[in-house]
Structures are given as structure tokens and as C-alpha cells.
Structure 1
Amino acid sequence: MKKLAFIALAAVASTAFAGGGHGHGHGGPKADGPVINNPQLQATVLVNTAVINAAEGKGAVAQQNLATNAGAIKVDGDQYQIVGAKDSLIMNAALNAEASQNIASNVGEVDINATSIQVALMKHSAVVNLAKHGAKAVQNVSTNTSCVSCD
């Protein structure tokens, strides 16, 4: 798993940056969102992993993003989002609150006009999403969605 993850990261990184770029810009689908014109590599590599996202109590909100574009973003360059893990536990929990966790995902008003590759590698995994007592827990793994909190 470790060798595979590093080989994949190296191959993607060399491919992503071999083509050069088109410059940087700001703007996007909305005036307040960034524009990504160059190839983009987002990578999170965890080994003896524990990634926990939790919110408890009325009005509490927890949001966590790993190798993710969130919000109003325009991507005109190739995009590679990779999350590796090994002995993992990635958890999202909300108790009478709202929790959102995104892993190798595009969430919100993300406009992609180029190649997009999203990979989540895990080994002895446990990906948990839990909502109790009127709570809302949203978890996206290697996905594209315009639903940030799925109201």
C-alpha cells in the first residue's frame, strides 16, 4: 500500500506539472472565489491514521476537508486530489449539531474545465459517518457535489 501510494503520487505529480501552466488568476464562479489555472495536486498522506471530525451541541458546526476544493472555485487546469491512509480511521460525527467532512472531493460551486482525478486509498480502513439526536453528518469521499451541508 505504501509503495503503491508513493508511486501513484510521484506519477501523478510528474504528469500534473509536466505541462506547464497558464498563469494564476482570481475570480471564479463568484467574484469571491479563486481560479486555478495551473495543474493542481492536492495530496494528504497519513500512515497510522486517525482523522476525526465532530460537532456536539445545538448550533455547533464542524467542517473538515482533505485534498478537497470547497466553496466557489473555478478549475481550468488539470486537478489531482489524492488521500492515502494506512491503518486508518476517518470519522465524521454530529450530536445535535452539523458535521461535514470531504475527502478527495469537490464540494460547493466548483467549476472544473479540465481533467479531474480523485483518489482515496485506504488499507485497514474504517470510514464512519454518524448523526444522532437530530444532527446532520455529511461525508463525501472522492465525489463531486454542490451540496455542502445537504439542507
Structure 2
Amino acid sequence: MASGWNDFCGIIRDNNSIPADMRELLILRSGTLNNAAYQWIQHEPVGRSAGLTTEQLLEIRLTPAFLGPVSPKTHLTPALSAAMNFADWVTKAVYVPQPVYDSLKKYLSDMQMVDATATVGGYNFVSRFVVALNVDGKMDTPVPIPR
């Protein structure tokens, strides 16, 4: 099972046309919204290596769903803000309103939109699976706050 799991994650992560920082934001955001500490713990260092800053990680981790940046002094680029809003809708509502889709689409090609959707959808599956079965023993562990 672990081998298949790693293959699934690798296919989404490694065969992806979206920028690495956006990919990791989508993964981290879905993990945050699904209370998947394991997913955050695994991907925070990857996100940092992809260029996400501590300030950006704090926004990804602490901003309530559907609110976007809580401050006009956001540390997220417009593209990353659009990606976070997109992740919120895919994760929490499944249905993505056209304006939300369009706000991300202006930064991505058609293929990249497919990859962004597959990333959020795939990692929603991952986080929900890991949490529901308590695969990692962290079901009751809060998602860490970046330092």
C-alpha cells in the first residue's frame, strides 16, 4: 500500500506543469483545511525549498477558508492568492464559481489548470484518507504553525 501511495503522490507532484511554489501551496492548503498534520509536516520543507517564505506559509496555514488574504499587506503574489482561493473552493465546496476559476486561469494555461485541479483534488484524497484511517497516528495532532 505504501508503495502505491508514494506512486500516486509522485505522479501528481512530479508530472506537474504548475510552478513549484503554487503546487506546494495547493498541497499545503488542502492539508490545512482538512486538518492533516502529516501532509503539512511532509510538505512544509518542500514548500520552503520551492520558494515559499515563512510569511507566506503563515498565510496559507492561518487564513480561514474563503477569506483570501486577511490583510492588504499579503505576502502572497496575486497568482498564489488566486491559487489559495481556488484550493479553498475545491476543498470545501467542490463547486468552483466561474470568477474563482477565471482568477487563477489568468495565470495558468489550460493544461496547468488541469494540473492545479488534479493537485488539489488528489491531495484532498490523500489528506482525507490519512486522517480518516489515522494512518500516521496524527489524527488528533493540530497542523503545525510555521516558524
Provide the TM-score with structure 1 as the length reference: 0.28
Higher helix share: 2
Provide the TM-score with structure 2 as the length reference: 0.28
Compare relative contact order (CA 8 Å, sep 6+) and give the higher one, 1 or 2: 2
